Structure 1
């Protein structure tokens, strides 16, 4: 089976796995314990916090470890709302936000907040004019995902951050798909908070983090906790944090090389599917606003789930969108944000590249898709 679903998750890097085992067997103490065994674990934890903060270009005082991106989004939004810059109960989020963000705002809506959803333009990017137009004097929080997980479009975080700063609005961004894929040093410190996850960058599952600007005096959602300055309850998973840090260090060193390679693979894929180009719609922005390793597309007349299963039968793992949406009857939030109708939305498939993806893999997958479409159309004409 050849994997083309790296946007969903990645295999654990071998060096990261070795560090996990070493930390779990030699630095196993509770990092909050006051004895020497706990002190050794805490020293490793704080070294990882310092290193990750440096890679992200942020103050380590604002970096907190979580179980992953979903928990991070929830806790970050709750933390920002515990210390708003002004009075109000209006929240503005992108329609295509991750399900964890939609989940928390649904709860907040029941608590009296007004929620406004922003669609994408035809390129899969937030329309900044529409964003500013929908801000009200009551707007206290905006949440916009940095990189869309299904089509890979990159949102103009720097511009949105300036709009929020000028209007005294907290700005949260989900960095799960951009962490380890884009240099975030000039972006991360501009937002009020962001979330990230280890398993998207060849680190372990079940670990991630949140940055909240140290200038924000947030209150914990779960009272009485002592770990991570009360940000979340539960013993800190130091081995997973150490493994994630190693994975982040490795991927950070090859960002530019990876970007060039993925651009080349994307171009090769698009060229290879040219025989069926009249049936294909690729959802993408301009090169400067597009993560090259994620290709979101639809093939007219063929349901994405059927196409995914056919590819699986032939030895290729692709997806029909975010793993958090799989199994739901409604179209993904991204397809809704793009304005697709139900039939079009169900034709969506996602292909995503990783460090093991080769040019030969990409060309063979594209040829497989071409053959499937041709065979499907032939059978449909009978």
Structure 2
């Protein structure tokens, strides 16, 4: 099986795996324990915190480890709301945010907060004029992902951070798809908080982190916790944190080289779809606002779920823009944000590249998609006759 779903998860890096086992067997003490074994674990934990903070260009005092991006998004939003810059109950978020953001927003709406969701323009970006127009005197927070997980567009977080600063608004950015993929150092110091996840960068599953500006006097959502300065409960997962740190060091060291390679792979896939280009719609921005590793597209007349299964049958693992919720197919949030019809939304598929993706496999995938489309079109003609 040739894997093209790296935006969903990545395989654990072998060096990170070795570090995980070593730390789990040699630094097994609880990092909150006061004896020497616990102290060794605590020292390693803080070394990891310092190293990750350097990689992201942030103050280590604001970096907290979590179980992943979902928990990180939830706790970050709650932390910011516990210490707003001004009075109010209005929150602005992207319509295409991850389900973890929509989950906490739904809870907040029930608690009396007013929520405004912003769509995306045809290039998959938030309209800054619309964002400014949406701000009210009582707007206290904006939540916008850095990179969209379905189509890979990069939101202009720097400009949005300036808007937030001028209006006394907290800004949270979900950086799960950008951390380790593009340079986040330029935006990390500008936001009130951001989240990231280990398993998107060849680290272990079940580990991630949140940065919250140390100047914010947040209150813990879970009272009485002693770990991570009270940010979250539960014993710190030091082996996973150490493994994630190694994975982060490796992936950030190759950002420039990887960027060039992924651009070539992206072009190769798009070029291979040329024979069916009249049926293909790719949702993307210009090169400066687009990560190369994620291609979100739809093929007119073919449901994404069917295309995914056909690709799977041929030995290619891709994903669709639909998730099964309570037994029903629900279109991905990005398709709603782009204004697609229900039929168009169901045609959406995603291809994402990673470290092991090679040029030949990309071309083979594209050619296989073309073959699938041509066979489908031919069978449709026969049925109509």
Range class of TM-score, shorter chain: over 0.9
Alignment correspondent of 2:208 = 208
Q: Distance in 1 between matches of 2:340 and 2:362?
A: 27
C-alpha contact 2:322 2:330 (8 A) present in aligned 1: no
Alignment correspondent of 1:261 = 261
Q: Distance in 2 between matches of 1:62 and 1:324?
A: 36
Q: Distance in 2 between matches of 1:233 and 1:57?
A: 26
Q: 1:328 to 1:363 in 2, by over 3 A?
A: same
1:91-136 Cα offsets, whole Å, 9 max, x none, are 0000000000000010000110000000000000000000000000
CA shift for structure 1 position 352: 0.2
C-alpha contact 2:323 2:331 (8 A) present in aligned 1: no
CA shift for structure 1 position 186: 1.4
Aligned residues: 382
Alignment correspondent of 2:242 = 242
Q: 1:143 to 1:266 in 2, by over 3 A?
A: same
Alignment correspondent of 1:120 = 120
Does structure 1 residue 161 correspond to structure 2 residue 161? yes
Query: SS at 2:320's partner residue?
Result: coil
Q: Distance in 2 between matches of 1:148 and 1:22?
A: 35
Q: Distance in 2 between matches of 1:239 and 1:272?
A: 42
Q: Distance in 2 between matches of 1:49 and 1:30?
A: 16
CA shift for structure 1 position 187: 1.1
Q: Distance in 1 between matches of 2:185 and 2:73?
A: 20
Alignment correspondent of 1:335 = 335
CA shift for structure 1 position 194: 0.3
1:255-275 Cα offsets, whole Å, 9 max, x none, are 010000000000111111100
Alignment correspondent of 2:281 = 281
1:147-187 Cα offsets, whole Å, 9 max, x none, are 00000000000000000000000000000000100111111
C-alpha contact 2:151 2:284 (8 A) present in aligned 1: yes
Q: Distance in 2 between matches of 1:274 and 1:253?
A: 34
CA shift for structure 1 position 332: 1.0
Q: Distance in 2 between matches of 1:32 and 1:52?
A: 20
Alignment correspondent of 1:83 = 83
CA shift for structure 1 position 329: 2.3
CA shift for structure 1 position 325: 7.2
Q: 1:184 to 1:27 in 2, by over 3 A?
A: same
Q: Distance in 1 between matches of 2:327 and 2:266?
A: 28
Alignment correspondent of 1:38 = 38
C-alpha contact 1:149 1:322 (8 A) present in aligned 2: no
1:202-243 Cα offsets, whole Å, 9 max, x none, are 000000000000000000000000000100000000000000
Q: Distance in 1 between matches of 2:19 and 2:325?
A: 32
Q: Distance in 1 between matches of 2:85 and 2:239?
A: 36
CA shift for structure 1 position 323: 6.7
Query: SS at 2:172's partner residue?
Result: strand
Alignment correspondent of 1:96 = 96
Gaps (5+ residues) in structure 2?
A: none
**Structure 1 runs (4+) greater than 2 angstroms displaced:** 321-330
C-alpha contact 1:320 1:326 (8 A) present in aligned 2: no
CA shift for structure 1 position 321: 3.0
Q: 1:363 to 1:154 in 2, by over 3 A?
A: same
Q: Distance in 2 between matches of 1:328 and 1:4?
A: 25
Alignment correspondent of 1:319 = 319
Query: SS at 2:126's partner residue?
Result: coil
Query: What TM-score comes out, normalization by structure 1 length?
Result: 0.99
